[in-house]
Amino acid sequence: MVLKSCTTLQVGLQSVTARLRREDGITAIEYAIIGVAMASVLFFIFDKGGFLKALEGAWSTMSTKITGVESIIK
């Protein structure tokens, strides 16, 4: 029973090791696909400027509020 389990485990490990060795090229392709997807998302977010305008507006509001608090503290 124990010998059978050890043999099964060893065969499984050899199978996984062989599979990992064969898939190096596939990993590079997966990274390329992820890179294209991320570039598309970033282009969509920053293309029209809506996101940047909202971010600048939020930054301006925060700056104004911080300046207002500074005058209260003094």
What was the pLDDT predicted at 26?
Answer: 67
The residue segments making up the domain with residue 10 are 2-73
Number of domains in the chain: 1
Mean pLDDT by 10 residues, the chain (74 residues): 61 68 69 87 76 83 80 67
DSSP code per residue over 23-63: THHHHHHHHHHHHHHHHHHHHHHHHSSHHHHHHHHHHHHHH
Q: Are 52 and 46 in contact (CB under 8 A)?
A: yes
pTM score:
0.38
What was the pLDDT predicted at 44?
Answer: 79
